[in-house]
Amino acid sequence: MENFDVIIVGGGPAGLSAAISAAHAGMKTLVIERGDYPGTKNVMGGILYTKATDMVVPEFWKEAPLERPIIEQRIAMLSGDESILAGYRDPDWAAEPYNAHSILRVKFDRWLAQQAEKAGVMIITETLVEDLLYKNGNVVGVRTGRAEGDLGAKVVIIAEGVNNFLAVKAGLAKSLKPATVAVTVKEIISLPKEKIEDRFCLDEGQGATIELYGDSTAGMMGVGFIYTNKDSISIGVGAILESVVREHWTPNDLLENLKAKPYVKRLLQGGETKEYLAHLIPEGGYTHVPRLHRQGVMVVGDTAMLMNSLNREGSNLAMVSGKIAGEVAAQAIKAGDVSDQAMAVYESRLRDSFVLKDLHHYRHMGKFFEDNPHLLKIYPKMFSKAAKMYLTADGTPKKQRQKEIIQMLFEQRSKGGFIKDLYGAWRALL
């Protein structure tokens, strides 16, 4: 049986970041990826955050296959054919050190895998890890689907993504439930770059994002998104699986519903669908973060439920958790102690970082929206109606119009209901 210091299961952002940091610390490191190459199986909106990526590959923007630096982030609240818009544009984000870029995972993951190989990591593809190997109850390697496929390791890092089969088998995580994952579909639609820049009011090469709420998910907890790539647009929508099933939607119908909205249709006009992708997003939040370590093993990225959906951050949490796990593995191996206590340094470093701090901060959010399904159904309609009433110049004096708007709002939701919703939102989000 061949032996390694560190074996990482999964060649996504979490696994490859773990591999790079372990290899930099001198570890004999192996990544096992079930896809033909890293990236083939992976889906993301996708916005890649500069700070976290820079921690793994310094100044990555000089050579990574990036689409566009994001200089504007918009929010659209859809109600029927109407939309309310808000946004923030910052031209500084068009230059170093940047804030975020749009990417296509097929290209980016492949490039990140090359960086791992440059750092000395060995990558085996088209290989499924079926189980962990144990000796006296301790993790000592992995079992792959290949003939003579047992491989030894002092530390195994599980970076298998949202489908957490190995983490469940190892007794570290619970199986996914329809209430703790969002089902997401995405299309990549090709468009000439000049058209993209024209439609999104961008200078050459710049990018924008739009997150769409309300009717974009038929009022279910979730979000639609539109991101500009070099010569294509990524459009997608995701909602909690439980509600999608309960409300008899199919993910494809949700996407078609979004694409048909007047505000969206205009942006996509003339485009041609190049790719159609579907994936799950872990949405359990802080209370569903699994056990993160045991003797000789750590869990990172989506497998560890490290996703901050409100801020559309997942790749950065994956990369930071991977980097820390790789460093902790190396430190423990050098010290000759891969006990549970040694692996616990990973968890305490995650707790000190934005990763678990942010998840902890939003720990009530999922339950708040779950307990108040009316929020995403009635508020977009109310705000849209209020905006229409206020902005329609029909000769009604403004003071009278304001009174009518307030009356309309209280017809839809009682004063007590407003206070309850506001208090709940304050607790969940602030």
44/343 with CB nearer ligand FAD = 44
Per CB under 6 A, does 72 bind ligand FAD? no
Stretch that binds ligand FAD, among 250-258, 308-316, 354-362, 392-400 (CB under 6 A): 308-316
Task: Indicate the pairing of strand 2-9 with strand 29-32.
Answer: parallel
Each residue 184-223 as x (binds ligand FAD by CB under 6 A) or -, in order, gives x-x-------------------------------------
3-state SS, one letter per residue, for the chain: CEEEEEEEECCCHHHHHHHHHHHHCCCCEEEECCCCCCCCCCCCCCEEEHHHHHHHCCCHHHCCCCCCEEEEEEEEEEECCEEEEEEEECHHHHCCCCCEEECCHHHHHHHHHHHHHHCCCEEECCCCEEEEEEECCEEEEEEECCCCCEEEEEEEEECCCCCCHHHHHCCCCCCCCCCCEEEEEEEEEECCHHHHHHHCCCCCCCEEEEEEEEHHHCCCCEEEEEEECCCEEEEEEEEEHHHHHHCCCCHHHHHHHHHCCHHHHHHHCCCEEEEEEEEEEECCCHHHCCCCEECCEEECHHHHCCCEHHHCECHHHHHHHHHHHHHHHHHHHHCCCCCHHHHHHHHHHHHHCHHHHHHHHCCCHHHHHHHCCCHHHHHHHHHHHHHHHHHCCCCCCHHHHHHHHHHHHHHHCCHHHHHHHHHHHHHHHC
236/424 with CB nearer ligand FAD = 236
CB of 38 to ligand FAD, least distance (A): 6
Residues between 144 and 183 that touch ligand FAD (CB under 6 A): 159-161, 166
Q: Are 189 and 272 in contact (CB under 8 A)?
A: yes
CB of 424 to ligand FAD, least distance (A): 26
Each residue 233-272 as x (binds ligand FAD by CB under 6 A) or -, in order, gives ---x-x----------------------------------
Q: What residues does 142 pair with on adjacent strands?
A: 132, 151
Per CB under 6 A, does 32 bind ligand FAD? yes
Kindly tell me which residue out of 33, 72, 197, 327 binds ligand FAD, with binding defined by CB under 6 A: 33
Q: Are 33 and 318 in contact (CB under 8 A)?
A: no
Distance between CA atoms of 188 and 103, rounded to whole angstroms? 12
Each residue 128-147 as x (binds ligand FAD by CB under 6 A) or -, in order, gives xx------------------
Stretch that binds ligand FAD, among 149-157, 288-296, 300-308, 391-399 (CB under 6 A): 300-308
Kindly tell me which residue out of 6, 23, 27, 34 binds ligand FAD, with binding defined by CB under 6 A: 34
Each residue 366-395 as x (binds ligand FAD by CB under 6 A) or -, in order, gives ------------------------------
Stretch that binds ligand FAD, among 110-118, 170-178, 306-314, 374-382 (CB under 6 A): 306-314
Q: Are 243 and 218 in contact (CB under 8 A)?
A: no
13/207 with CB nearer ligand FAD = 13
Kindly tell me which residue out of 301, 326, 380, 424 binds ligand FAD, with binding defined by CB under 6 A: 301
CB of 89 to ligand FAD, least distance (A): 18
134/383 with CB nearer ligand FAD = 134
How many residues of this chain bind ligand FAD (CB under 6 A)?
A: 40
Q: Are 330 and 316 in contact (CB under 8 A)?
A: no
Per CB under 6 A, does 28 bind ligand FAD? no
Stretch that binds ligand FAD, among 39-47, 56-64, 190-198, 351-359 (CB under 6 A): 39-47
Distance between CA atoms of 285 and 303, rounded to whole angstroms? 12
Copy the structure tokens of residue 145: 């689907």
Kindly tell me which residue out of 279, 293, 294, 349 binds ligand FAD, with binding defined by CB under 6 A: 279
Kindly tell me which residue out of 233, 307, 324, 376 binds ligand FAD, with binding defined by CB under 6 A: 307
Per CB under 6 A, does 13 bind ligand FAD? yes
38/207 with CB nearer ligand FAD = 38
Per CB under 6 A, does 299 bind ligand FAD? no
Interface with ligand FAD by CB under 6 A: which residues? 9-15, 32-35, 38, 41-47, 128-129, 159-161, 166, 184, 186, 236, 238, 279, 281, 301-302, 307, 312-316, 318
